[in-house]
Structure 1
């Protein structure tokens, strides 16, 4: 298709608006309207309509004191959404590899699919005697510390849609006995900001789990390590928590999450 053929399908107003944004981005400073329409090389009336539209939508903001314009926060949001659309496993793989090297523990990245936790990336420590999970392994959300952390961004309504009945499926020993108990555990995990599951799902194996947030401040994934002990030694606990937390923060940062307060 020739350039002339392509041009007839273009939306002129959109083109002009994007040209205004490009000018603001390239100048990296606040510009007056006169500077904008001159640098964008478009008629004043056309530039005025484009600026009014972009300002109304929050893509540019006006400084009322100087009557100048700059790029708005919504432009940054577009970038965050693009980053968040990338494969979380691809982003997280090198980070959990480094986590494995520092912690000397099997390291994992997992997401939630409905009522299941799915492992989407994992690396094993050469010295580990633990039978590691494989990528694609599914476990019940309500029976794992990873699953509980993945639910910490859920509203009560979303939670009840997942678990419409008070009795939980596959209510095995060691698992929450009811929906209400599970919800209380999730709220405690949310307030704490992490989960340490000592022999919670498998006897003799403990885990440390931290959430990975996306640009909407919702939990998109979790990072975890498996510690080959019934109870994590107090001498190692703080160090291991810190390295898992740092790995989760790095992935969250790459996903466009805002700094935690």
Structure 2
């Protein structure tokens, strides 16, 4: 009778067994994860304090990450920042997503039909991450890049993804009652956000003007997979005052919903009625 490999058995389960976790690797990855748009640079003592790890250990981890081109020293300082190698990992992840393969031709068709810039995002906790885009050729062109992260509650794209959550899930995602406001339109509390999401949920799409950035309007719809989960969102953006309201509620809305439907079908979603609840 053959011996059973316990590691092979554990790989069949969805939850990792903590006894197989490598502390050094985890700490190294923890270092990479503490860098974000608000903390672009940090020095070794700051990192050690943040992670509650001895400075000697942090020093060795930083040397290893620097050798692997995942972080680099900031010239003339003692600070570190993410290096090109870390960016490469992010792009490789985005390129590996099945949805990006399907999204690009659909985004091109959407942009050509509307004359506007079009985007696809996924949600990462309280952020949305842009994974695909098609810039407009003649009109206002989008300034966001692949990999750009924006707050989910502050964007129309994020709203259609958050609308898929229950109230309990929303509270868990945002344990603090207050939210950062980015414009007069942005909800500044979880309760107000929940009210906005309820409208989006009923409509099956979201339209807003100057919600995140003054002078910019957006129409977004969710993209669903075979489990009916909202796994991504698609939108077009336009400059306020350049598009008639009849076009916004007609051609643009219908085009975004059609693109969301097509991309959802590619991901084996079948109930299209939920996507086209245009009131």
**Interval containing the TM-score (normalised by the shorter chain):** 0.5 to 0.7
Change (3 A) 1:254 1:131: closer
**Is 1:256 aligned with 2:256?**
no
Give the count of matched residue pairs: 176
Contact 1:105 1:225 in 2 (8 A): yes
Change (3 A) 1:235 1:250: same
Q: Which protein is bigger by CA-based radius of gyration?
A: 1
Structure 1 residue 227, shift from structure 2 partner: 1.2
Contact 1:198 1:231 in 2 (8 A): no
Match of 1:133 in 2: 144
Contact 1:206 1:232 in 2 (8 A): no
Partner SS, residue 202 of structure 1: coil
**What is the root-mean-square deviation of aligned Cα atoms in Å?**
1.7
Work out which of the residue numbers 232, 237, 242 in structure 1 matches 2:254. Answer: 242
Contact 1:195 1:210 in 2 (8 A): yes
Match of 2:101 in 1: 90
Structure 1 residue 90, shift from structure 2 partner: 1.3
**Is 1:224 aligned with 2:253?**
no
Match of 1:101 in 2: 112
Structure 1 stretches of 4+ with a deviation exceeding 3 A read none
Partner SS, residue 223 of structure 2: strand
Work out which of the residue numbers 207, 213, 217 in structure 2 matches 1:206. Answer: 217
Contact 1:110 1:118 in 2 (8 A): yes
Match of 2:162 in 1: 151
Match of 1:23 in 2: none
**Is 1:178 aligned with 2:179?**
no
Q: State the distance in 2 between where 1:114 and 1:151 align.
A: 10
Partner SS, residue 217 of structure 1: coil
1:8-157 matches, within 5 Å, as 87-157=98-168
Contact 2:113 2:255 in 1 (8 A): yes
Partner SS, residue 235 of structure 1: helix
Structure 1 residue 153, shift from structure 2 partner: 1.3
Contact 1:206 1:231 in 2 (8 A): no
| Runs of 5+ unmatched residues, structure 2 | 1-95, 274-279
Structure 1 residue 128, shift from structure 2 partner: 2.4
| Runs of 5+ unmatched residues, structure 1 | 1-84
Partner SS, residue 272 of structure 2: coil
Q: State the distance in 1 between where 2:142 and 2:103 align.
A: 22
Structure 1 residue 86, shift from structure 2 partner: 5.4
Change (3 A) 1:191 1:231: farther
Q: State the distance in 2 between where 1:102 and 1:160 align.
A: 38
TM-score by length of 1: 0.64
Partner SS, residue 107 of structure 1: strand
TM-score by length of 2: 0.60
Q: State the distance in 2 between where 1:96 and 1:131 align.
A: 13
Q: State the distance in 1 between where 2:126 and 2:231 align.
A: 15
Partner SS, residue 135 of structure 1: coil
Partner SS, residue 269 of structure 2: coil
Match of 1:166 in 2: 177
Which has the higher relative contact order, 1 or 2, with Cα contacts under 8 A spaced 6 or more apart? 1
